[in-house]
Amino acid sequence: MTSRGVSRRQFLRTSAGAAGVAGILASGRAPATAQTRELSFLTVASFVPDTDKELKRQFDEWGAKNKVKVRLDIIAHLQLVTKKASEVQARSGHDLTALGPGLGDADLYYDYLADLNDVATDVAPKNGGWLNEHDYLIRGKWKLLPWWMPPFPMAVRTDLLEKIGEKNPDTWEDWLRIGKKGKAIGHPFGTAMGHSADANVTLLSIMWSYGASYVGKDGKTITINSKETRTAMDFVKRLYTEAMDPEVLAWDDASNNRCLNAGKCIGIHNPISAYESAKKDKVVVPGSQREIAEVIDHVNTPRGPVDRKTTTGYWCVGVWNFSKNVDLAKDFLRYHFQPENLNKWVEAGHGFNMPFLANLTKHPVYKSDKQYRHIPDVAKVTVPPSWPGPTTAASQQVLDLYIIPDMFAQYSTGKMTADQAIAWAEKEMQEIYAGRRRKV
């Protein structure tokens, strides 16, 4: 170093420092070492608030361990469609996102979801394996992880069964008989037949139970026009006219819960949410002091002449591939899907949130209340809504446009003959599967 000038080393050090500061200012970002890593997760509000609290606890715990700032945003499930669309449009938003209901998002957003093959492979063995692995693969890839489902048993009023001299029903014909008797004393059977997710679930269950389906295994052939569909439609028409009130045509997903908890319906096809809310709110049987939760029982989803099958909302979780934190997001998924964490999460949700993993279907929570005893049985016969075909964007569109409920409603209300209603549904589905109909 000279006394009047600047040494070469000093010059280089100063220049490097200045260049660094200039770089930081130009990029508008702190250097990597100073940056706080952030991970955001968008999910839907669970029916059981404790589920969300437990998820948040795990997310915070994982964030603290890994020095990652985490943010869990919770929205109503009805808002998720809009949120997903806007995040994909902007290629920005949350890193992790809830997807569904249904596996169709994996096909619809195939180009925007990160592959989760590695995570799916890691978490399965620790939890006894996936229930039906092939159902969840979309175009042969894990574009999402199936997260939880609310299985659909039948909720029935035991006091009313006693009154009409019946026992717990098992088949759809049993339900028709009970519904008729119940309706005669002012307590009809209730299942939505309008534009609601519950309507899709129950009417598909009936179709499958009578041997019908709307798409073949190849995921291309529309199979709705069949003898079996006609039989199922005749059954639903009888159920509608003889055992239900016309209001079911206008029901949303909350209506059947309300009907049961109001003491009106003798039975509904629904997850355990109606029972749980009746228990929480201490709703009583009208005209008595007896709590309605005490006279509700849950039985398996009904069997038909051919099969016993049902479906439900397949709630999934995925990682946007435009996220800057794909690896972090995968790491959290691995953490959340650890058996001890999933166990705590299912416990918090009272089993309403059953994961698609074999060991979790045997969770002790399902033995903690007599009401939950059939839920693992229901899970065993639960298939995706497109069954026996694969889940695609087209199959999701059939659900989203409520073609199945509309077909049944047109015939049940006498607006169309069975042939007309089936021909209408067949044409709609063919157009959707041929891609001629604009996506919703």
Partner 1 sequence: MSRSRARQIRPLFTLYLPVMPFVLFALFPLYFMLITSFKKNAELYDPSSIPFLIQRGVTFGHYQLLSNETLFWSWFVNSLIVSVAATVISVVIGILAAYPLARMRFLGGDSFGMAIFITYLVPPSLLFLPLSTVVNRLGLSDSLWSLVVTYPTFLVPFCTWLLMGYFRTVPKEIEECAMLDGCGRLQTLLRILLPVAVPGVICAALFAFTLSWNEFLYALVFVSPAELKTMTVGVFSELIRGDIYYWGGLMAGACIGSLPIVVAYVFFLDYYVSGLTAGAVK
Given the rule CB under 8 A, which residues bind partner 1?
40, 42, 45-49, 71, 73-79, 82-83, 85-87, 89-94, 150, 198, 253-254, 256-258, 261-264, 270-271, 273-274, 277, 281-284, 286-287
The answer to whether the beta carbons of residues 155 and 297 sit under 8 Å apart is yes
d(CA 110, CA 87): 14
Backbone Cα Rg of the chain: 26
Nearer to partner 1, 262 or 434 (CB): 262
Nearer to partner 1, 152 or 411 (CB): 152
Nearest approach, Cβ of 422 to partner 1 (angstroms)? 29
Question: Which CB atom, from 39 or from 429, has the smaller least distance to partner 1?
Answer: 39
Which residues are 41's β-sheet partners? Answer: 72, 96
**Minimum distance from residue 333 beta carbon to partner 1 (Å):** 19
The residue (of 137 and 254) whose beta carbon lies closer to partner 1 is 254
Residue 133 vs 281, nearer CB to partner 1: 281
Closest CA to 381 of 317, 316, 302, 305: 302
Q: Is the peptide bond before 101 cis (omega within 30 degrees of 0)?
A: yes
Smallest gap from Cβ 312 to partner 1, in A, equals 12
CB of 355 vs partner 1, minimal distance in Å: 17
Peptide bond into 388 cis (omega under 30): yes
Shortest gap between Cβ of 273 and partner 1 (angstroms)? 6
Q: Work out how close the CB of 321 gets to partner 1 at its nearest, in angstroms, rounded to a whole number.
A: 16
Spatial CA neighbour of 230 closest among 390, 62, 425: 425
Minimum Å distance from CB 147 to partner 1? Answer: 14
Q: Which of 135, 278, 254 is nearest to 199 (CA)?
A: 254
Minimum CB separation of residue 124 from partner 1 in Å reads 27
Task: Pick between residue 46 and residue 396 the one whose CB is nearest to partner 1.
Answer: 46
How many Cβ atoms are within 10 Å of 226's Cβ, its own excluded? 17
Cβ closest to partner 1, residue 92 vs residue 417? 92
Q: At its nearest, how many Å lie between partner 1 and the CB of residue 177?
A: 24
Nearer to partner 1, 256 or 310 (CB): 256
Judged by beta carbon, residue 87 or residue 400, the one nearer partner 1 is: 87
